[in-house]
Amino acid sequence: MLEYARWKYILIAAVLALGLLFALPNVFGQDPALQLAHADHSAVTSAETHVITSFLQQQKIPFRRAYVQNGRLIVRFANVPDQLRGSDAIDGQFKKQYISAKTLVPRTPGWLRALGLKPMPLGLDLSGGLDLLYQVDIKSAVRQILQTYTQDASRALADAKVPVTGIADVAIDGSRLPNTIQITLAPNANLAAAQRALTDPLRGLTITTSTGSSGAVIQATMPAAKILARENYAIEQNISILRNRANQLGVSEPKVERQGNDRIDVQLPGVQNMAEVKHLLGQTATLEFHLNDMENSAFEAQQSGNVPLGDKLYTNTSMGIPVLLKREVIATGDQLTNATVGQSQQGPAVNITLDSRAGESMLRTTKQNVGKQMGVVLITKHTETREVDGKQVTRQVTTEKVINDATIDGVFADRFQITGLTLGEAQDLAILLRSGSFVTPISLVSENIIGPSLGAANIRMGMMALIIGMAGVLLFMALYYKIFGLVADAVLVANVVLLTALLSMMHASLSLPGIAGIILTVGIAVDANVLIYERIREELRKGVTPQAAIRAGFEKAFSAIADSNVTTAIAGLVLWIFGTGAIRGFAVVLTLGIATSMFTSLMGSRALVTLMYGGRRKIARLHI
């Protein structure tokens, strides 16, 4: 007689029950919806929900349901035309009160949502959405850290009373990036004293000295490893900031990944309000704080075009007048830890909190400059396409403007206010800073819009391919292996259910390559069953009893199945670890599919066969 441990039956039944439960949310599909949120991120109230729903009813725009989720109002519609009508009506009536976004929401029943169960998110190619590719200015990132070294070195030499005639960052040895601080000492300067003073400020840099015509020259060069680390830091921080901003949109499973040396790819599945999304993500801005030059006239510098050495000319956007600021940076946007909207005696304000290092710099600056003015510079960068000689030419445009230019009334450090803004400007600036200011400017290189209709077509064709492929496999197995083929068919269906459950549990996005991975998984699972069944048939041809043939078929086929699946799993894991985008999506499904196919083919199939034939004392023949 065939025997199979009872605990294995219990394990298989439990796994299948949990698999069905976790896979169930994927059955219900999605609804087109509108998402409404306040610009200041305050929660939408139930009273506001009633106002919106009453307005839609007055406009005779049908909707399925409206509810508040995570502080945002979600209005669900039966179809896309109703969604578009609702969007136009709400934008026309409530544009100043809410930021609206078209999206897709799952139709998961409330009891499944209460259990925390969600369908697996769909990738960009299935749900439609927006794909943005950004270029990171890594040269600027390296220059920023060199400027910090330069300021520290200048301050240390001044404290040590070592006179210098010039200090600047340059590129040497054919470097594509600025990598060296070059300090020219005055003819009467003490070189040994300068070297002692620069030991701490320039720690980690390679320092060399030489003698020039005007005095000793000290060069501090950043090692290649340090430059690479700074580039990686700029990329990773900007990825984090873009991810924070994407999360503020309420997008389901946004993907923000590095591409190559200096690019970031942002995929926003389900997003349909392209302009609003690009506006929020495209605010590639950072702040800088500078002291005003109180000794020279900004108007004279503007009229003559001669800007004093060490200064830079800006325009105050609120007053429309020129402003002359010192080039030395007191603090930058990447040193901000928080920004909130508040009120001051001058009106709306943004409450700023800096990190400890920037706070120390601000404290030192304000102590020494009470009564003087300090400017806040907002730096934005974007791409601009123009037609030049009949050709479309894209170039990067950087805009620097002073958004606040106020007198330092007292000493402050890491907490202060930016005033002189309207309420809307203060709210926008606070949101921008709270989501994170870019370490270095980025610019939009390309955008790819995938409409919801194309996504729906991809889903339809992908599912058709899966259904046709599975139907062909199921029919072949049933005809060729008879009852054992029907067992294999049940196991294949269970395999797809478990794979869907795993993807849902992991919140792994399903894309077209993922559907291809599911179809390949079906083939792998069939291959395991074929090996087992052919081994059983081989044992029967040797004249062994049917029950012994079944036992031998599962035991002797195990090594071949394990070898083939392990080698495939290794390839899948390598693609999972090192691949990106569509390749990783395929690898995730393939690797998980191998695990589920091993479980269903070896344990599930044997359990069913044992249930069918294990209790019989005598079997005349096997239907295989």
181, part of any domain: yes
Q: Which of 414, 437, 460 is the last residue of a domain?
A: 437
- pLDDT of residue 457 exceeding 80: no
pLDDT at site 526: 86
Residue 17: what pLDDT? 93
Domain boundary pick from 387, 413, 437: 437
Residue 273 has pLDDT above 60, yes or no: no
Does any domain span residue 271? no
pLDDT at 435: 60
Instruction: Return the exposure string of 571-593: e unless at least 16 CB atoms fall within 10 Å of the residue's CB, then b.
Output: ebeebbeeeebbebbbbbbbbbb
pLDDT reported for residue 252: 55
DSSP state of 341: E
- d(Cα 163, Cα 190) in Å, to the nearest integer? 9
pLDDT of residue 432: 64
**497 and 561 belong to one structural domain:** yes
**For residues 552 and 536, is the Cβ–Cβ distance under 8 A?**
yes
pLDDT tens for 365-418 read 888 888 888 888 887 765 565 666 766 665 666 778 887 777 787 788 878 777
Q: For residue 574, what are the domain limits?
A: 6-25+452-613
273 occurs within a structural domain = no
| Whole-number pLDDT of residue 14 | 93
Query: What pLDDT was estimated at residue 455?
Result: 66
pLDDT of residue 387: 65
pLDDT for the residue 253: 62
**DSSP H helix total and E strand total for the chain:** 17, 21
Mean pLDDT of the chain: 81
pTM comes to 0.62
Q: In sequence order, which residues have a C-beta less than 8 Å from that of residue 212 and are 6 or more positions away?
A: 184
212 and 355 part of one domain? no
**Residue 36 pLDDT:** 85
* Across 129-143, 168-182, 304-318, 473-487, least confident range: 168-182
Based on the fold, state whether residues 296 and 317 are members of the same structural domain: yes
Q: Which three-class secondary structure state does DSSP give residue 311?
A: strand
Same domain, 387 and 301: yes
Say what the pLDDT of residue 498 is: 92
Residue 427 covered by a domain: yes
| Residue appearing with tokens 């976004």 | 101
Q: Are 337 and 412 in contact (CB under 8 A)?
A: no
Same domain, 467 and 532: yes
The span from the CA of 42 to the CA of 235, in Å, is 31
Q: Are residues 575 and 486 in the same domain?
A: yes
